[in-house]
Amino acid sequence: MRKQVPDKESLAKMLSLHFLHHRKLLPMLCRLSLMAVLVLGMCGCNHLRAAPTSQEEENMSIDEERAIEIAKMDAANVYRDLSVYDVVVSEGEGVWIVRFVFSDKDMVGGGPEYEISMEDGAIVKKIYSQ
């Protein structure tokens, strides 16, 4: 049984569809790659940051107050009004744990919780509650 060889017109049509497919696929892949980079950056992914120099490493120690500022900046984007919360901070293993709890104990629900790296201030983990 012999394979059928496509004629010139069929071959040209297949090639044009192939190139058309790649012209549409490439911009879509570029957009997806850009979105992935943005999402990783917003999540506090440290893989996209340049490695610090030894001088920078000596100066990279986040205190409790700075951890609260970092958490408040992120929380304000989602919760808007943080005046109904008290901020509770504790130390974890290499992280500051920053929790927003309702000032009024009769309120139901909760605020955001963060784990912020003591080393560089990156948000390692965040949980949003309602």
Q: What is the pLDDT of residues 33-91, one digit of tens each?
A: 555 545 555 554 444 444 545 544 454 589 999 999 999 999 999 888 899 999 999 99
Q: Are residues 44 and 102 in the same domain?
A: no
Evaluate whether residue 1 is within a structural domain: no
Return the sign of the alpha-carbon dihedral for residues 39, 40, 45, 50: negative
Predicted local confidence at residue 81, as pLDDT: 87
Two tokens at 1?
């049984």
Residue range(s) defining the domain that contains residue 26: 7-50
Two tokens at 22?
């790649």
> Could you tell me the CATH number of the domain that includes residue 71?
3.10.450
Alpha carbons 112 and 70: distance in angstroms, whole number:
12
pLDDT confidence tier of residue 129, bands split at 50, 70 and 90:
confident
Q: Are residues 119 and 68 in the same domain?
A: yes
